[in-house]
């Protein structure tokens, strides 16, 4: 059975994010600036920072699997409180809308930012787990007697097409969202449309062929300058195809 997969855009965190975390101990807990984290990496950084500050075991997990909700759960071995202070970008990235207190476990109200979870199977031109074809800047010349020569300057790996043929309106369009932040439209606006400073307009994007697994391939997405979509069914605005075209694999 084909998998749905997942997309994660790289976060460009220009400055530290510090919150006040209270558990068995209380203190300022800092997630240091980084330009190379993906949302999954951010979860681990938060868990480590908050565990160190509180003296308890804090876990931060995303429901980002094949049947995921897109929400984030923060859980601790003791009652945990988090005051976000000025770190509202971190709060919003994780999908929370206010300070946390009075419990050992919290689940976000909104979908985590930088993550998109399609709700239909993925199809790729070369099939799953195939990074794409190699394209070269190859030039050829031929002499008057038929002798040939060629030069290759650079090469790149291109994934020509990944397609989700019937994404529901909620996971495709902002106007159809049942959970704030779950649509591809909002994901693209945030991560490629310049709406949020902590995403570059051409970020690296990890494509997970199977959202239940940890393996992924990083690409630069190309060929889209708007959130325009066609309908999957001409006379019904309930399903939309979403495509990634000619994505360039990030060199190892």
Residue 65 placed within a domain? yes
Residue 224 domain-assigned? Answer: no
Q: For residue 147, is pLDDT > 90? A: no
**Per the domain annotation, does 104 fall within a domain?**
yes
Query: Cα 42–6–110 angle (5° rounding)?
Result: 60
The torsion angle over the Cα atoms of residues 76, 111, 46 and 114, rounded to 10 degrees, is 160
Whole-structure pTM over 0.85, yes or no?
A: yes
Percent of the chain predicted with pLDDT > 70: 100
Residue 148 pLDDT level (bands cut at 50, 70, 90): confident
Q: How confident is the model at residue 181 (pLDDT cuts 50, 70, 90)?
A: very high
According to the model, what pLDDT value does residue 149 have? Answer: 84
Residues 15, 60: Cα–Cα separation, whole Å = 21
- 137 in a domain, yes or no? no
Within-domain flag for 26: yes
| pLDDT at site 89 | 98
Range of the domain at 46: 8-115
Confidence of residue 1 (pLDDT cuts 50, 70, 90): low
Q: What is the mean pLDDT of residues 63-89?
A: 98
Mean pLDDT of 130-142: 91
Cα gap 63→75, rounded to integer Å: 13
What are the residues whose beta carbons fall under 8 Å from the beta carbon of 116, sequence distance 6 or more?
6, 7, 8, 171, 184, 187
Does residue 243 lie in a domain region? no
Domains contained in the chain, number? 1
| pLDDT, position 125 | 95
- Is the residue at 58 inside a domain? yes
Is 239 domain-assigned?
no
Residue owning tokens 């391939």: 217
Which positions ≥6 away from 236 have C-beta within 8 Å?
Answer: none
Query: What is the pLDDT averaged over residues 76-91?
Result: 98
The pLDDT tens digits for 187-224 are 999 999 999 999 999 999 999 999 999 999 999 999 99
C-alpha dist (Å) from residue 125 to 4, 162, 246: 15, 7, 11
Mean pLDDT, the chain, integer: 96
């Amino acid at each position: 059975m084909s998998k749905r997969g997942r997309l994660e855009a790289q976060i460009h965190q220009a400055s530290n994010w510090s919150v006040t975390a209270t558990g068995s101990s209380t203190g300022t807990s800092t997630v240091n600036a980084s330009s190379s984290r993906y949302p999954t990496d951010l979860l681990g950084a938060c868990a480590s920072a908050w565990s160190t500050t509180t003296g308890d075991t804090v876990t931060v997990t995303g429901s980002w699997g094949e049947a995921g909700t897109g929400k984030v759960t923060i859980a601790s071995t003791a009652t945990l409180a988090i005051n976000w202070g000025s770190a509202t970008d971190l709060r919003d990235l994780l999908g929370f809308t206010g300070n946390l207190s009075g419990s050992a476990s919290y689940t976000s109200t909104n979908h985590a930012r930088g993550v998109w979870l399609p709700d239909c199977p993925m199809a790729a031109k070369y099939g799953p787990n195939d990074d794409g074809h190699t394209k070269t800047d190859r030039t050829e010349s031929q002499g008057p007697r038929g002798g040939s020569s060629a030069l290759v300057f650079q090469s790149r790996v291109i994934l020509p097409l990944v397609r989700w043929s019937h994404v529901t309106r909620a996971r495709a369009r902002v106007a159809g969202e049942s959970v704030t932040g779950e649509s591809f439209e909002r994901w693209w606006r945030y991560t490629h449309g310049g709406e949020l400073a902590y995403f570059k307009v051409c970020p690296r994007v990890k494509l997970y062929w199977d959202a239940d697994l940890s393996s992924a391939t990083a690409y630069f997405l190309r060929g889209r300058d708007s959130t325009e979509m066609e309908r999957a069914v001409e006379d019904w605005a309930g399903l939309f195809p979403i495509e990634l075209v000619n994505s360039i694999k990030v060199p190892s």
